[in-house]
């Protein structure tokens, strides 16, 4: 292939192979991650046939990690991060140190010196963010307390990895500052920590003020393309700036950028519109890992591979569990944390590559790290399924206090309705609902309206109601009713809402009677059409002037509505809040 076509061939070949093998492993009831890794081996340089461009695949994989961490930041509030600091900070540091010490102890038994073993141990001390987030997402625990603890643990590992990357050349004497001394190590450590503190301060102070203002200015243009472009530029710009100016990892910078955007009213829209490609690029991460595997290097170094697998799948989880147990972390959180850490990924290759570059690791260690990564990433989703059985077994050995008595039902449960659109119809509807004891949440595309509603105590979400993330942010999973009050075609909104909550009762606005049948077919419980309501209103005016009694008017309305139902489907003007 020509140099100019490397990017297209890598995208087409890598994603095509990932689709094929991912689908096959899914059909075999295995994690698609296994298929993505096999796809990487298939398009890698060590197997016959098509060979993707390794450097380009790695760059695209890095983009996937950046977008993924930005998305995590969008949904991870500062309060959540601070709430788990005591649970994760000491434990994560201890786990990294123990991994290095075990590596140093095992090194001489597998053909490495003690320093090389320590570096290899550090390389396998850090779990893959991409894998952990995929596993947590599949288990629906990202937003639960255990998810917060795991993500906080990963962030501490990230910071520790940044410090190691800074100090490794110093320890190896390859930084150009002369002999290695305690003073040079201390100076380099202080500089690295200072840069990280500066990055956090810059993002928190400057970013919190500037980024929401910039997004608000762009949102006023009503251009979806410009808004999406702005969010992507912020994510990539802060990620690259973090690496170039502060010496931090791009993933950490992207997470901080997402954290800032997540505190604003733009969080839900940014998550729904600006991140559509993150999954595809995350898939390329696994493909790029598979491409690095050289099978010829594995058997001669099987002892090293086995030792590293033991550290990853036994030592790290056990240390994480014991550290959490010592901090009196709830059992389910401790077990979830331990089993989620049993694999390695992107940062392991960064440390392995740098260790080889500065002469601390022999060349054969990096292929072994790749083999360990593939083995552990493949098995981790299967191991993670043991969380429930392990928790159940451990709880069975405890004497648990009796559960608290259930509180009596005082009948104060409120009906929750999601209202799409806050124009004249939506505004009137929200007012009437609130006055009648219904709790409304508004989804609106005007961010100024959203800000005003939230200030007034009415919960509102900024974004497109046809997006899954926006509906989830508005509480569609627990809503009893969805009211589409906005003008335009409601089909996409109804379809998305039904996919998230099949039991929600949908009342939709429509312009024409001809739309009723199609909207009913995709899930609308009732449809209010402008044509029908205009006809009813006009008939009522004429009959009233002719002297019709209230009973005659009611009968006429019932007859007309019956005819409209027969012609087009359910037509009504009321919202039934009983179900």
SS3 of 406-466: the string is: CCCCCCCCCEEEEEECCCHHHHHHHHHHHHCCEEEEEEECCHHHHHHHHHCCCCEEECCCC
Tell me what pLDDT residue 280 has.
76
pLDDT in tens, 483-500: 988 877 788 888 888 888
Per the model's pLDDT, the better-predicted residue between 337 and 397 turns out to be 337
Tell me what pLDDT residue 105 has.
94
Sign of the Cα torsion 59, 60, 61, 64 reads positive
pLDDT in tens, 203-216: 777 777 888 888 88
Assign 251 a pLDDT band (cuts: 50, 70, 90).
Answer: confident
Tell me what pLDDT residue 477 has.
83
The DSSP H or E segment spanning 298 is: none
Give me the mean pLDDT over the 177-190 stretch: 68
Per the model's pLDDT, the better-predicted residue between 563 and 262 turns out to be 262
Tell me what pLDDT residue 538 has.
81
Give me the mean pLDDT over the 453-473 stretch: 85
Assign 436 a pLDDT band (cuts: 50, 70, 90).
Answer: confident
Cα 129 from chain centroid (whole Å): 11
Other beta carbons within 10 angstroms of residue 436's beta carbon come to: 10
Per the model's pLDDT, the better-predicted residue between 545 and 3 turns out to be 545
The number of CA neighbours under 13 Å toward the Cβ of 452 is 8
Q: Is pLDDT above 60 for 323?
A: yes
Give me the mean pLDDT over the 502-516 stretch: 82
Give me the mean pLDDT over the 349-374 stretch: 86
Cα 303 from chain centroid (whole Å): 36
CA distance 490 to 445: 14
Burial 257-271 (b: 16+ CB within 10 A, else e): bbbbbbbbbbbbbbb
CATH C-level class of 58-285+301-392: mainly alpha
pLDDT in tens, 555-574: 776 776 666 555 554 444 44
365 in Cβ contact with 116 (< 8 Å) = yes
Please state the CATH superfamily assignment of the domain spanning residues 415-568 in this structure: NAD(P)-binding Rossmann-like Domain (3.40.50.720)
- Domains of the chain, by residue range, sit at 58-285+301-392, 415-568
Assign 1 a pLDDT band (cuts: 50, 70, 90).
Answer: very low
The DSSP H or E segment spanning 339 is: helix 331-340
Average pLDDT, the chain: 80
CA distance 479 to 433: 14
Other beta carbons within 10 angstroms of residue 531's beta carbon come to: 17
CA distance 147 to 152: 8
CA distance 427 to 86: 45
Q: Is pLDDT above 90 for 307?
A: yes
Which residues, in sequence order, are CB contacts of 340 under 8 Å at separation 6+? 127, 132, 135, 136, 150, 380, 384
Q: What are phi and psi of 412, to 5 degrees?
A: -95, 10
Q: What are phi and psi of 142, to 5 degrees?
A: -60, -40
Give me the mean pLDDT over the 182-209 stretch: 76
Q: Identify the weakest region by mean pLDDT among 61-75, 96-110, 289-303, 455-469.
A: 61-75
Give me the mean pLDDT over the 310-338 stretch: 91
Tell me what pLDDT residue 145 has.
80
Q: Identify the weakest region by mean pLDDT among 46-60, 390-404, 557-571.
A: 557-571
Tell me what pLDDT residue 178 has.
54
CA distance 295 to 311: 21
**Cα dihedral angle (4, 7, 8, 9), rounded to 10 degrees?**
90
Model confidence, pTM? 0.64
Per the model's pLDDT, the better-predicted residue between 391 and 402 turns out to be 391
Give me the mean pLDDT over the 70-92 stretch: 73
């Amino acid at each position: 292939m020509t140099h100019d076509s490397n990017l297209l061939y890598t995208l087409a070949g890598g994603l095509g192979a990932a689709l094929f093998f991912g689908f096959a492993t899914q059909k075999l009831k295995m994690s698609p991650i296994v298929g993505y890794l096999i796809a990487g081996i298939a398009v890698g340089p060590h197997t016959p046939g098509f060979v993707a461009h390794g450097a380009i695949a790695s760059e695209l994989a890095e983009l996937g990690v950046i977008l993924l961490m930005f998305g995590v930041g969008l949904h991870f509030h500062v309060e959540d991060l601070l709430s788990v600091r005591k649970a994760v900070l000491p434990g994560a540091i201890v786990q990294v140190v123990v991994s290095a010490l075990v590596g140093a102890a095992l090194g001489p038994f597998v053909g490495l010196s003690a320093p090389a073993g320590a570096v290899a141990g550090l390389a396998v001390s850090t779990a893959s963010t991409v894998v952990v987030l995929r596993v947590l997402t599949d288990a629906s625990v990202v937003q639960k307390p255990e998810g917060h603890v795991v993500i906080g643990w990963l962030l501490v590992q990230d910071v520790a990895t940044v410090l190691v990357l800074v100090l490794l050349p110093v320890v190896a004497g390859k930084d150009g500052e002369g002999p290695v001394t305690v003073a040079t190590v201390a100076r380099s450590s202080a500089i690295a920590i200072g840069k990280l503190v500066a990055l956090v301060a810059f993002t928190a102070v400057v970013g919190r003020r500037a980024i929401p203002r910039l997004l608000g200015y762009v949102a006023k243009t009503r251009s979806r393309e410009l808004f999406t472009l702005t969010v992507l530029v912020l994510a990539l710009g802060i990620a690259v700036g973090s690496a170039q100016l502060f010496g931090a990892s791009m993933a950490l910078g992207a997470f901080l950028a997402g954290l800032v955007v997540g505190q604003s009213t733009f969080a839900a829209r940014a998550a729904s519109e600006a991140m559509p490609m993150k999954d595809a690029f995350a898939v390329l991460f696994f493909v790029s890992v598979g491409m690095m595997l050289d099978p010829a290097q594995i058997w001669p170094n099987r002892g090293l591979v086995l030792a590293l697998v033991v550290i990853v799948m036994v030592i790290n989880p056990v240390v994480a569990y014991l550290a959490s147990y010592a901090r009196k972390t709830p059992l389910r959180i401790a077990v979830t944390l331990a089993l989620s850490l049993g694999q390695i990924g992107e940062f392991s290759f960064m440390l392995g590559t740098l260790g080889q570059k500065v002469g601390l690791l022999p060349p054969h260690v990096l292929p072994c790290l790749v083999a360990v990564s593939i083995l552990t990433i493949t098995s981790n989703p299967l191991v993670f399924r043991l969380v429930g059985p392990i928790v159940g077994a451990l709880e069975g050995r405890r004497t648990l206090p009796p559960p608290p008595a259930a509180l009596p039902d005082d009948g104060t449960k409120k009906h929750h309705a999601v209202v799409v659109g806050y124009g004249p119809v939506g505004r009137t509807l929200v007012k009437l609902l609130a006055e009648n004891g219904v709790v409304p949440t508004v989804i609106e595309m005007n961010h100024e309206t959203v800000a005003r509603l939230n200030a007034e105590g009415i919960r509102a979400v900024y974004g497109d109601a046809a997006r899954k993330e926006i509906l989830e942010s508005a509480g569609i999973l627990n809503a009893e009713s969805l009211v589409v009050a906005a003008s335009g075609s409601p089909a996409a909104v109804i379809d998305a809402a039904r996919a998230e909550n099949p039991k929600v009762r949908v009342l939709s606005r429509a312009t024409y009677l001809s739309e009723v049948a199609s909207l009913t077919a995709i899930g609308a419980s009732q449809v209010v059409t402008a044509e029908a309501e205009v006809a009813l209103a006009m008939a009522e005016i004429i009959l009233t002037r002719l002297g019709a009694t209230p009973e005659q008017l009611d009968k006429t309305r019932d007859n007309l509505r019956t005819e409209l139902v027969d012609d087009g489907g359910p037509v009504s003007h009321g919202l039934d809040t009983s179900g």
